[in-house]
Chain A
C-alpha cells in the first residue's frame, strides 16, 4: 500500500471514545470507533469509503481533518504528519483540506447570510485584499457551484436541500483546498437532486484538480464517483480495491454481501442475494479475531481468534480475510 505519490497517507489510525459510567463517571469502557485504519489517496483521485452506520467511516474523515483528535496513528498530508501539528500549522492545513457535510440543514448557520457563510474563510485567512475583492470572490464561488450573485444576501432557510448543499460546497472551495472530505454529501438529498450534486462534484474535481475522500453508505453512488473504494466494517478496513475490481470481483465476504444487498432499479435483473444474519455487533465489545466472523457465511473456528491482516491479493486489490483472495 506504500504509495510515494500519495497526497494523504493514513497509517494505523485509531480513535477510541471513552464510555463513562458509575457514580464517579470513570472511564468504564471504550468504543473502538476506528480501530487501525490505513489507506492512501493519490492526488486527483477519489477514494470512496463505504460501510454501514457505526463502522467508523465518518469518524475517520473527521480525524483526518483533526475535527476529532485521533487516539493514535499517523496521518501524512503533503509530507507532514497532521496528528503532530500545532495550532498554527493546523490553521494553514485548513487551507488545504476541507469538508462537506451530510445534512444541508444543520451544516449552515441559520443566522448568517449566504454571503457571510461562503466568505467566512476569506476573512479568517485574509484571502481578500479589499472589501470589493471579497465580494467578487464570493460571487465567483456562488457562480462556480451554480448559484447566483444575488443569493448572497439571502439566508439558508430560503433554499432547498440541493441548493444548500451547493452553498456548503462553495464554502469549502473558498480556500482553494487540495483535498475535500465529502461526508455523505448526497445522502440527505432527493434522487433527482443527488445527481445534480454528484455531477457538480465531478465537474469541480476536473476544474480544480481536487482530491476527494468520499464517505457514503450508498454503494451505487460511491461506485459512480470513486476511482478506488475502501470498505469498512466495525472500525477496520476489510477491503480496498479499484472501483471496477471491487464491484466485479469482491473478495471479502462482507463486501460481497453489501454489494448483493443493493436493490437494483430494474425488475428484469434477478440476482442471488447473500443475506447476512443479525445486526452489526456493538463497537464497545467488538467480536474477537476478525470482527466479521459472527455474521460471516464462510467463517471457520480460527476466525474468532486470529485478526486478519490487510494484504495485497492482486495488484492494487487489498483484502483482510484469512480465506479469501
Chain B
C-alpha cells in the first residue's frame, strides 16, 4: 500500500463498515439508557405501578364520580363495601373519592416541587460550576447555608407566616399549592446544585468541551450543547428522589395541619383526620398511608433503576 496516496483512504473504508459490532443496537445514549432501565426489573415494575397510580388519580373522578364532600352520617366510619370501596370517614364521606382527589394534589405537589428544586439547583450549580473565583465561592456558601437550616421547623414557620398572603393573592387552593411547592422546592435544591456544580467542574475540563471552545463556541453553546446534556444523568436521579421527598414533606405538613385548608383532602390530611379513630376505623388511616407508601417507594425504586441506567461510566 506504500505510495498509494488517497487511494489507501478508500482502501480503509470497507472495514469501516464493521462499525456497530452489536446487532440491533439502539443508537442514542438516551435510548441506550432506556434499554437498560427496562432491564432493571424492580424499577420497570415500579414504573408501571406508578403509572397506574397516576392514571387512577388522573382519571378517577370520571370513573368514580362521587363527590368528595357528600356528608352522610348514616354511613360514617364504615369499612370497605361496594358502595364505598375504601370505606368512609367520621362524616360518612367516601374515602376513595377523597384519596383520588388527595392523590392529585400530593402527586402534583411532588412533581411541581421537584421542578422548582431542579430548576433552582441547575441554575445555581451551573453558574457556580462555570464561574471560578468569588461567584462560585459565594454560591456554594449560600448552598451550604441552606443545607444547614433545620428543614421541618423552617417549613412550618414559612407556612405559618405566608399562608394568608398567598391565600389573598392566589385564592384558597391555589395559594396553598403555590406556597407549598415554592417552600418545599425552595428548601430542596441544594443537593441538585452541588451535583450540577461537581459535574460542571469535571465536564468543562473534558476534551470535547475544549474542542468546542477551539471551534469558537460561545459560553451559552458550551453549557447548553455540551456540558448540561452530559450532566443531566445524576440530576434526573436526584430529581426522582426529590419527587418522593416532596410528597412526604407535603404529607407531613398536611398531617401537622399546616398544608392545605382542612376541607381539602390530601393524603396527609386524611391521615391526620384518621389518627383519632385508629382503633375504631383502621381502614381510614391504612389507605392514605398505603397510598403514600406506594407512591414513595415506587419512585425511589425508579430512582435506583435510573441511577444504573444513566451511570456515566457506562454512557461515556
Taking Cβ atoms with an 8 Å cutoff, the residues of A that contact B are 62, 65, 67, 90-91, 94-95, 97-99, 101-103, 105-113, 120-121, 124-125, 145-148, 151, 153-155, 157-160, 163, 168, 171, 174-175, 196, 199-200, 203, 206-207
Residues of A within 8 A of B165 (CB): none
Residues of A within 8 A of B315 (CB): 110, 157
Q: Which residues of B25-56 are within 8 A (CB) of A?
A: 25, 27-30, 32
Q: What would 7 more interface pairs be, CB under 8 Å, given A124-B215, A203-B9?
A: A94-B215, A103-B207, A107-B208, A110-B230, A111-B229, A147-B13, A155-B28
Contact A111 B230 (CB under 8 A): yes
Report if B149 contacts A (CB, 8 A): no
**Of the candidates A90, A113, A163, which one forms a contact with B16 in the assembled complex, judged by CB atoms under 8 Å apart?**
A163
Report if B217 contacts A (CB, 8 A): yes
* A151 nearest in chain B by CB position: B19
Contact B20 A158 (CB under 8 A): yes
* B28 nearest in chain A by CB position: A155
A203 to B208, CA, bound (A): 25
- Which residue of B19, B218, B225 has the most chain A CB atoms within 10 A of its CB atom? B19
A54 to chain B, nearest CB (A): 17
Residues of A within 8 A of B10 (CB): 146
* B315 nearest in chain A by CB position: A110
Residues of B within 8 A of A151 (CB): 16, 19
Residues of A within 8 A of B28 (CB): 111, 113, 155
Report if B161 contacts A (CB, 8 A): no
Residues of B within 8 A of A154 (CB): 19-20, 27
Residues of A within 8 A of B206 (CB): 106
* B218 nearest in chain A by CB position: A124
A62 to chain B, nearest CB (A): 8
Residues of A within 8 A of B225 (CB): 109, 112, 120
B180 to chain A, nearest CB (A): 35
**Of the candidates A113, A121, A157, which one forms a contact with B216 in the assembled complex, judged by CB atoms under 8 Å apart?**
A121
Contact with A along B190-218 (1 / 0, CB 8 A): 00000000000000001111111111111
Report if B5 contacts A (CB, 8 A): yes
The B interface, classified by DSSP as helix, strand, loop or mixed, is helix
Report if B275 contacts A (CB, 8 A): no
B311 to chain A, nearest CB (A): 13
Some 12 contacts from A to B, beta carbons below 8 A apart, are A99-B211, A99-B214, A106-B316, A108-B211, A109-B212, A111-B29, A113-B28, A157-B29, A158-B20, A160-B19, A168-B211, A171-B215
A121 to chain B, nearest CB (A): 4
A168 to B207, CA, bound (A): 11
Residues of B within 8 A of A124 (CB): 215-218, 221
Residues of B within 8 A of A174 (CB): 215
A199 to B316, CA, bound (A): 28
* B32 nearest in chain A by CB position: A157
Contact B212 A67 (CB under 8 A): no
Residues of A within 8 A of B9 (CB): 145-146, 200, 203
B210 to chain A, nearest CB (A): 6
* A168 nearest in chain B by CB position: B211
Residues of A within 8 A of B316 (CB): 105-106, 110
Residues of A within 8 A of B153 (CB): none
A121 to B217, CA, bound (A): 8
Q: Given A67-B210, A103-B207, A147-B13, do A120 and B217 touch, yes or no (CB 8 Å)?
A: yes
A266 to chain B, nearest CB (A): 19
Contact A158 B5 (CB under 8 A): no
* B314 nearest in chain A by CB position: A157
B213 to chain A, nearest CB (A): 6
Report if B12 contacts A (CB, 8 A): yes
A248 to chain B, nearest CB (A): 23
Contact A101 B20 (CB under 8 A): no
Contact A101 B207 (CB under 8 A): yes
Contact with A along B160-192 (1 / 0, CB 8 A): 000000000000000000000000000000000
Contact A120 B230 (CB under 8 A): no
Report if B262 contacts A (CB, 8 A): no
Contact A207 B6 (CB under 8 A): yes
